[in-house]
Structure formats: structure tokens, C-alpha cells
Structure 1
Amino acid sequence: MARAEVLRGVSWLLGTVREVREETAQARTLVLDVPGWPGHRAGQHVDVRLTAADGYTAVRSYSVASAAGADVELTVVEVDGGEVSPYLVRSLAVGTVLELRGPLGGWFVWHPDGGQPVQLVAGGSGVVPLMAMLRTRERLRDSTPMRLLYSVRDPDAALYTAELERLGRAAAGPQVRCFWTRRPPTGAPRRARLGAADLAAATWEPALVPTVFVCGPTGFVEAVTGLLVGLGHEPGRIRTERFGGGGEP
């Protein structure tokens, strides 16, 4: 179904920024109060529309970072030269009203379905919708076996560091593995890019028939998906979400 057809039945809502949390020097999370919000599923996204004084509008899509059933949270990473993200990261104040359309997306979503293993693979800010899945699992006290493989250039760019460490330490928590592609923390190895051996060592084996979610830049997603299929994962069980930029696994 074409995106335009899907959007015809989705209304614009007004959301008020209740809280702003700094995630990194280039990223922040916006916590929104959205009257009339119908609820979202882990992995969905929203469109955000900004309108200038002269009537010019810009619309950008952002993944919902919060657990299903929780308030709307959007984590925005600043894009150099962008029209929208610099304002949301640098200038937006608590109390500002934003126009939102959503939740959107029905394929790249997760909810507990009986304990089938789930593998999450993130490149950079592609961790945002996967974080919603991890948070949903925790919120529901679900026991689905879940692993996250997070490829990020360095600790300064990593999102949700403390929370991921806490989740990974929990007795029944998910397994969390980080691969550092440029500047690793002291004592950690550097990986210029993820290879088949890295994926084989850090992800569920194909024989367990996991559902796999891969999110990140287009080049990253395509490369990782190809490697996973080469390792024996069923293509139909790999769900992908991608955004602009090349990226490498």
C-alpha cells in the first residue's frame, strides 16, 4: 500500500514538549504530552511538521523511542546542514507545541508473541526504534530471549549507554553487545566494520529461527542483511528500517 494511502486516515495531532533529556552532544530526547494519542507499538515512527512564520513547512520522520503504552518520546540526532534536527536538538524549549502525525508503520514492529528469539542489530541512531522494543520487553516483564548488537563509531556517539548497561546486567535482561567502528573505549577492540564472523558470534544462530530487526543507514542495513542471509537466516524473518546515508556495518 502506498504511503500516501496510509496517511489519508492519520490525523495531525498537537504535542507539547514536557521534558528534554540530553543523550549526547548531538542528540536529545523529547518527551511529549499528546492529547488524543492512540498508542503506539514498539518500532513505529511519527512525522513531525514544523511551520515557519512565512508559511514554509518541513516534515521529518522520527522513530518513537519509548515503550508501547508509555508516553511519546522521540530521540533526535542532529544532522549537519539539516533543516529540522538542529532546531529540535539546539533550540527547542520545554512547552513548545509540535505537530505530529502517527503512529506510522506496521511491518517494523515487535510485540511479545510466545517467546520466539529476537535479534536486534543497530547502526548508529538506528538503535532508537530497537530501544523501544527493549523498553517494551522490560515494561511488560516479558521473557522473550532478546539480543542487541549495536554498531556505533565511538562512546561519544552512543545513545542510551547507561540504560543499555543496566538492561544488559539484569538477570533476565537482553544480551547487549557494542561494536566500536572508530574510537573504542579503553580496552575494547575496534572494528572497522562488522563482518560475517562478528555477526555469527554475537547473534542468535539461524537454527533457532529468530526474528531479526535491522535498523540504520541504508548501506549498513543492506550489508548486514546480506551477511545474515549468507549465514543462513531466513530472508522472510529479517525486518529492516533504513534512513539516508551510506554507512558501513
Structure 2
Amino acid sequence: MLSVTPLIQSGEFGILAVFSSDEQLSNIRHILENYVSLPFSTETIPGAIMEAVLAYVRDGQVLKTYDFVDVIQTDLKIGWQVKSTKAATPVTWKRAKIANALELIDASNKSASGLQSLGDSIINFCNTHAHESMELYGLDKIGYSRLILNKNLTVTYIERVLCSKDAPNIFDPANYVWKWSLPKKTIAKEQLPALHGINIQTKKKDWAWHGLGENQLHFSGENQWWPPAEGTQAVSFKFPEPDKRMSLEDLLEMLSSYKS
């Protein structure tokens, strides 16, 4: 587990509310380990489960909305966006329905400046979505609660700070250049081009916006947030072997014991 001691030493007390304590991280791991030991669990952990676990451990509330934050803790004025996917699966950030999308898309096909304007509008859309949740729920800070399901059946849970009232933007539009992908042909149909956002520093694709289809916005650059990273906490565990899972019979016997 990565320590938050440097943050304390540097005097950044405010962001510590976003991070779970060592005991809370241990509780999160323990609950998830028990969940994957259930007979009906699979090699995935749904986001809804992770949201419920975080809310339980942090004494928060799960929001069943399409707002940027999924869990809030009103006393501490913090919220979290929660994601749980396999390591190789790009995170679906949101369905990004951009205002004036048709005009911006048309301009993007005519000039480099038009292309950049469309990309900038996507990044600004992401930042604005976080700002709206911060204002709506009276939050001072928003954190990121992330469950990563690795190929070797190891599960890693990490936390980090995304934004705050003092630093409200998660992303900087100046960090990306944009280009349309080439259409892909499959046996069934031709896939529409996606708008790719290339990270200027890493030269890698961080974003893919499917604005010619269902407006899905995928954030593949999210893996740059994974440990090791300054100020990030992490705990890991492994999925149990099949013979180590609770049997269905044992589960039913346990549940029957709770009858009133």
C-alpha cells in the first residue's frame, strides 16, 4: 500500500478526506474478498458493488443518478467517481453529448483549428460535468475510486484526488491534439470513425469519442493514473481458486440462519 505520509508532511491536509485510512482500505479489501468468494460471483466485480462497498466503509451515500460523482459523504463535503473494469478495457467516461456537435464536427473536417475546437469542447465537457456535481452536492473535493481487474485474477483498488474547489479542472485541453480515426470494416458492418485525443507528452491515444454514433467517450489514458503515482493509495488481493469459493449449499445454510 502506498503511504500518504508525504502529503501530511507537505501540509496538504485537505485532500486526506478523499483517501481512506489504512483500516478503511483493509475493510474494503476484506468485503471484496468475501464477495468474490460467493458461489455466484464471476471474474468481474460490478461497479454497483464497488459503489456500495465504498459508501458502506466511508459512511457515504450511493447516488443513483447520471451525475459525475457516484458516492458522496456530505459531512466531509467529498464525493467519488467509481469505476470497476478489467485492466485492458478502456474506461467509459460518459456519453458525451456536445452542444453544437454537428457544427463542430463539420468544422473539424475543414481545418486543424476546427478539429482542435471539437476536441477542446470534449475536454471542457468533462470538466464541466465535475463542476456541476461539486456545486449540486456542495462538495469541496472529488476523488476517484477505481477497481482494476487484472489478467492474473489479481484485483487492485486505488484512490486518488481528481479535483477540488481550488483546482476544479481534471483535464487541460492544451494537453491533447485530435484526429479522426479511419473507418473500420467488419464482416457485419462498417464502423464509424471515432475522434481520437492524443496526449502531447506521451504521444499515446488517451481519448476516443464516438460522436458519429452513440456519443460514448472512452478514456484509455486512465491507466496512467494507476500505481505507482504520487498520493495514490492501493490495496490488492487475488480471486480465490474455484475450490476455495463458498458452496451454494453453505450459502443457503448461512442465509437460512438469519430467518426471524
Which structure dedicates a bigger proportion of its chain to helix?
2
Structure number with greater Rg is 2
- TM above 0.5, yes or no, is no
**Into which bin does the TM-score normalised by the smaller protein fall?**
under 0.3
Q: TM-score under structure 2 normalisation?
A: 0.23
Which structure dedicates a bigger proportion of its chain to strand?
1
